[in-house]
Structures are given as C-alpha cells and as structure tokens.
Amino acid sequence: MNDDILDFQIESHTDAIIKVIGVGGGGGNAVNHMFQEGIHDVSFALCNTDHQALMESPVPMKIQLGESTTGGLGAGNKPEVARRAAEESVEMIEDLLNDGTRMAFITAGMGGGTGTGAAPVVARVAKDMGILTVGIVTIPFMFEGPRKIVQAVKGVEEIAKNVDALLVINND
C-alpha cells in the first residue's frame, strides 16, 4: 500500500463559469425564483427594459436595457422596441459576460416585448463571444390569443438563430 497522497490542489471555491440570464418579465421571474432557492455554482443576471422590475429583484447583477430607448418604462409589448433597447446596451451585455463565463442559459418568455425582442440579442452577444449559449423559452397559452402566439413564434425563430441549443416550453 502506498502512503503517498497526491494533492491535486483543487480550489474549494471557484468563480461560476455558468451564467443564467433572465430577459424580460418571464425570464426575470424564473431567475428570481432560482436565485431565491439558493442554487449554487452558477451566477444569475437580469436584463430588462423595465426599471421597476429590476429594482424589485433580489438578483444583484442587472442591466437596464435601452435606457434612452425606453426610459426604463418597458418595451410596451413591442419586440422591435426591446430589440433596439438591447442593441443600445450591447457593451453592457458584453461586460456582464466578460467575467469568465463559459456557458450561458438565456431564459425568457416569448410573446411579449422584452423577452421576445431582447433575448435574441443577448444570445447573439454571448455566442459571438464564444460562450456556449442555451436558450430556454416559454410560449404563451393558447387563450392568450393569436397575436401573442404569432409574436412568440417569431421570437423563437429569432433566438434559434443565436443559440447552440434551444428548449421551447409550451405553457399549454
């Protein structure tokens, strides 16, 4: 029997290389829940056009998207406004991800404004930085109406172009 013990000097705590980013109201709700559950070894962040929603969240890492585009008042269920807001904030998104993040989960609800319009931009930035990018999105209930469903499908198609893998959860 060998009495020599190898010491691999593995750090007991390393910075999280996995980041979960909630975009918009639906994504923000999901990330807030995970954060409050105390999930370890990942970091959490929020991106939203709604200043009030960001301020009410306990998640410390936050980006207000498109401050000059939306004035912090949200995207008004208009994905094109949210997309412009996210494009305005690309440098802040890059800074958020430029901390050793190697894998990003982008979560959002499709069918509204910010999640639908901004999540594809956040995903594109992550993927362009060489980060393994996974989208996890929900699509609305049928009773929410055809307009919202069509808007959600367009959002899913857009984020699909900007992720390495996509999980679509149907609320029905």
CATH number of 18-170: 3.40.50.1440
Beta strands in the chain (DSSP E): 18-23, 43-48, 62-64, 103-109, 132-139, 165-170
Residue type, 84: R
Phi, psi of 140 (to 5 degrees): -70, 165
pLDDT tens sequence for the chain (172 residues): 455 555 555 444 456 799 999 999 999 999 999 999 999 999 999 999 999 999 999 999 999 999 999 999 999 999 999 999 999 999 999 999 999 999 999 999 999 999 999 999 999 999 999 999 999 999 999 999 999 999 999 999 999 999 999 999 998 8
pTM: 0.90
Where do the structural domains in the chain lie, given as residue ranges?
18-170
What span, in angstroms and rounded, lies between the C-alpha atoms of 155 and 4? 58
CB 92, CB 6: distance < 8 Å: no
